[in-house]
Amino acid sequence: MCGIVGYIGTDEAFPLIIQSLEKLEYRGYDSAGVALLGSDIKVVKVVGGIDKLKNKILEGRVGIGHTRWATHGGVSERNAHPHLSCDGEIAVVHNGIIENWEELKEELRNHKFVSETDTEVVAHFLEERLGKGLSMEEALKELKSRLKGTYALVILKKGDDRIYALKKDSPLVLGILESGFMLASDIYAFSDKTNKAIFFEDGEHAIIRRNEYRFFDSENRVVEKRIENFSWSSGKEEIGNFEHYMLKEIHEEPNAVRRLLLSLRTDQREKLEALKKLMETKRKVMFVASGSSYFASLLGVYFLHRAGIESQTLIASEFHNYERVNGDTLVIPISQSGETMDVLDAVKLSKRKGAEIVSIVNVPHSSIQRESRFSLEIKAGQEVCVAATKTFINQVVLLMELASLFGYRAELDTLPQEIEHVIKSNEKTIRKLARRLKDKNDIYIIGRGVTYPVAREIALKLKEIAYIHAEGMMGGELKHGTLALIEEGVPVISLIPSKDDEVMSNVIEVESRGAMSIRISPESKEFKIPQTNSGKFAVFSVVLGQLLAYYIAKERGLPIDKPRNLAKSVTVK
């Protein structure tokens, strides 16, 4: 989940690396560091965000950088990347997890380790092999044969005017700049500088000079790579008049939905109809996703079932335990980043079993998209806040549009302006409610049918952003245990589509036990929600839940855009 960068070219490397790391900070923000190649390798590291690096100027035209999400070892300067060999002649940045690092460390016990990380073994391993007379290229080949786990590695060597890069199961891409080359975890790192890139495949490594590069496949044979043109947000997202990116991105939802609907009815229409035909020819349709994307997929299954189309969804981390896929299965992975490791593993397993893959992603040219027969993009644009807001809404809208091809009544033409109305009409009410809830430790959200996945998603937002224990649950399961936790003053949010008597019975159950009852419904006097179909009600409820999580977190003084222990792109298991 870390962000890695490397630059080699004719420009000063440090400012370019800092700019790119800022754009990758959503991948991790525990600590950061940069190493530049000169007569020696100079390294600076900080605990905290990229801002703390800006006053630490280094000179040189070859360098690597890293922004960290901690996996092995605590958050500290010594655990920050880049990591060095004992002699300081090798510098390494890494995204992923090296599973056999302890075994390698034991082999290298004559080396002095200064960090608690798995990454440091790479620097010492290369130092050891070079000390035995191997060339850097020979040492890299041996490193590839010994490493187990996931990695994108970018490496510098003192006295060597090249950057070395390796990739297995963690994303890595080479940007083709006018001034040279840039390596990064994703294209957003350099999309303001070029629209040309080469994507690493698993097992590949590359050696990059200022004016040339060579790629090698998993068998260490030279391989020709295609330069691809891409289209993606070019500049750093500006926060404008908003205090936090999360609030900005919630307010961007109407325009994001407009952009998606236009795309689905023009340039992506052919692919949408191709997906429909594939679904009709396959015996089984199975979604796979994680986090918010999983709750979107649950809604997709609901919409499709209402249209008479059989489908199911599995959460990606448990896919291998519950899947039954074969050559007559269509697997539809859903991922904002297109790099989620558990989803990518599920895709690869499904392909090995002969399943067809069509993905739904936000980031173009991502690993999941490239593993797919074809892909639909949700067109939400760059999302800076770790918590998914506009990306979740666009995933749901795409799935509603898909279901509408089978007869589901989506009625999406007016959705963008209706979302605008819901935000404008309820934001003041939500702020007042947030002040009532800011000191609560537990919140329960009840839904049934279409609102059950919504309850789960709202609960996730309250956990992620407001640090509140929240449980989104099926109303029908309330009396099977959870009702024992409902007592005087406990907040219970009920999601009540028009004339839903079943949810109303749950409302009466919790209110009779003294709960602080909050009804989200078109009939509610507290909230202003249009009378509409159940799918659009689900969208409006999510928007209100996002706003509530935001304003509670603001009342609590929490780091909304960068919640503790979380990262936007989950590229490790």
**CB-CB contact of 545 with 551 (8 Å):** no
* Residue 263: pLDDT over 80: yes
Buried-exposed string 456-490: b where 16+ CB fall within 10 A, e elsewhere: bbbbbbbbbbbebebbbbbbeebeeebeeebeeeb
The torsion of the CA quartet 42, 47, 48, 51, rounded to 10 degrees, works out to -30
CB-based contact 261:401 (threshold 8 Å) = yes
Mean pLDDT along residues 241-249: 95
For the chain, the average pLDDT equals 93
Supply the pLDDT for residue 571: 58
Averaged pLDDT, 236-254 = 91
Q: Just list the catalytic residues.
A: 2, 568
Boundaries of CATH 3.40.50.10490 in the chain? 239-411, 414-573
Between 301 and 53, name the one with better pLDDT: 301
Burial of 20 (0-12, 13-18, 19+ CB in 10 A): buried
Residue found under tokens 């190649």: 37
Residue 237, pLDDT > 80, answer no
State the angle between helix axes of 253-264 and 390-404 in degrees (0 to 180), rounded to the nearest 10.
Answer: 30
Cβ–Cβ < 8 Å for 382, 354: no
Output the pLDDT for position 479: 82
CATH number, span 239-411 = 3.40.50.10490
**Residue indicated by tokens 């049918």:** 449
Dump the DSSP string for 125-181. HHHHHHHTT--HHHHHHHHHHH--EEEEEEEEETT---EEEEEEBS--EEEE-SSEE
Beta bridge partners of 315: 289
Who's near 451: CB < 8 A, 6+ residues apart? Answer: 495, 496, 497, 503, 534, 537, 538, 541
Which of helix, strand or coil describes residue 222? strand
Q: What does the pLDDT read at residue 507?
A: 85
Give me the residues paired with residue 150 across strands: 97
Q: pLDDT tens across 27-39, in order? A: 888 899 999 998 8
**Could you tell me where in the chain the CATH 3.60.20.10 domains are found?**
3-229
Quick one: pLDDT band at residue 231, thresholds 50, 70, 90?
confident
CA distance 345 to 351: 10
CA distances from 29 to 57, 130, 385, 561 (A): 20, 33, 12, 11
Q: Tokens 């998606």 label which residue?
A: 260
CATH architecture of the region 414-573? 3-Layer(aba) Sandwich (3.40)
Flag whether pLDDT at 26 surpasses 90: no
Q: What is the pLDDT of residue 551?
A: 98
Q: Which fold has domain 3-229?
A: Glutamine Phosphoribosylpyrophosphate, subunit 1, domain 1 (3.60.20)
Q: Which residues contact 440 (CB under 8 A, 6 or more apart)?
A: 468, 490, 491
User: What's the mean pLDDT in 252-279?
Assistant: 97
**CB burial string 48-67: b at 16+ within 10 A, e below:** ebbeebeeeebebbbbbbbb
- Of the given ranges (172-186, 189-203, 503-517), which has the lowest mean pLDDT? 503-517
CB neighbour class for 72 (10 Å; exposed up to 12, middle 13-18, buried from 19): middle
Across 106-113, average pLDDT: 94
Looking at the chain, how many residues does it have?
573
Are 383 and 352 a contacting pair, CB within 8 Å?
no
